A and B are shown apart, each in its own frame.
Chain A
């Protein structure tokens, strides 16, 4: 099969050209700005408002998926490929649905079990610390010197 031949076939389904590229650029820019706006908003929300923080994180994840869709579909041109080809790429990625749910659920369950049955661990993870601002770098150097002595 001639490569030139494929190129000629390929030219049939190019998509929308530069106009489409700029449209997608704007969509990605706006989605990113919205994400950042939510990020800045979240800085001001105190930690104890867990529901609101979790909801906003959910919105950010949805926006992230939208950005991923636009990059893959238009910049990587997948939307304009033929359907069988799209399926060989997208269907295996469905494994991620299980992957994410199962592992995050397991992580959360481990935390709860540990907090219930290992009081020492729970106590150790609630020790409040002093906020280090400038001393951090010196501290690090000090540690290095201590290590060298050993």
Chain B
């Protein structure tokens, strides 16, 4: 098996990591895999419930508002697409930080980490606004003020329960990602990685941050688009 990927290196003969990655990075991958199952279970529970319910609110009616816009504005998908692009761009700056780390470019790592942190904070701000707005419309766990798409009255609060639980769980991941990135920034500024001789820690933080972006791709699609 190993000989098909590398003709000269014998990965499994001992003396080196057979997966050619550092222990911590491999464990980060396995943690993210388990986290993917947690999010997957949440989203599949949401899907199952939606498939078993006769009516469901129209996302374009529920998520139609925009900050500072007049009351009753109809701007579906606009705000959430801004949130999506913020997260994609912050993922790009993170990958640039990892890349700068490979080149031992401390300044590049610092600059891109700061941009990533700003992106994460901006996303959290958007989500805080959206939650507050929905709360004032009467939506919360256990309270669903929205009519179904076909005009019928909602007979359960499943929609809001799932929305707040899943976006909340994702938002909590974004928050932890921002905290991790701030710690990475402080460590970089203190020169910890330069002394260590490698920036592998940034790579692990990067994996986590990309995963947060990845989950948003699914949450965004499942709640806002379809």
- The chain A residues found within 8 Å of chain B, CB to CB, are 1, 3-4, 6-7, 9-11, 13-14, 17-18, 21, 25, 28-29, 32, 35-36, 38-40, 43, 47, 57, 60-61, 64, 67-68, 71-72, 75-77, 81-85, 88-89, 92-93, 95-96, 99-100, 103-104, 106-108, 110-111, 114-115, 122, 124-129, 131-134, 136-137, 139-140, 143
| Interface-facing stretch out of B91-99, B165-173, B182-190 | B91-99
Contact of A81 among B19, B50, B60 (CB under 8 A): B19
Knowing that A36-B225, A93-B33, A104-B48 are A-B contacts, what are 18 other residue pairs whose CB atoms are under 8 Å apart, sorted by A's residue number? A1-B16, A6-B20, A7-B198, A9-B20, A10-B21, A11-B102, A17-B99, A36-B81, A60-B226, A67-B217, A68-B214, A76-B210, A99-B41, A103-B47, A111-B51, A111-B54, A137-B137, A140-B145
* Chain A residues within 8 Å of B221, by CB: 35, 60-61, 64
Question: Per-residue CB proximity of B183-226 to A under 8 Å, as 1/0?
Answer: 00000000000001110100100110011011001100100111
Q: Which of B1-16 contact A (CB under 8 A)?
A: 1-2, 4-6, 11, 15-16
- Evaluate contact between A3 and B22: CB separation under 8 angstroms: yes
Q: Closest residue of chain B to A111, judged by CB?
A: B52
- Evaluate contact between B152 and A6: CB separation under 8 angstroms: no
- The chain B residues found within 8 Å of chain A, CB to CB, are 1-2, 4-6, 11, 15-22, 26, 29-30, 33, 36-37, 40-41, 44-45, 47-55, 60, 71-72, 76-77, 81, 84-85, 88, 91-92, 94-96, 99, 102, 136-138, 143, 145, 147, 149-153, 155, 196-198, 200, 203, 206-207, 210-211, 213-214, 217-218, 221, 224-226
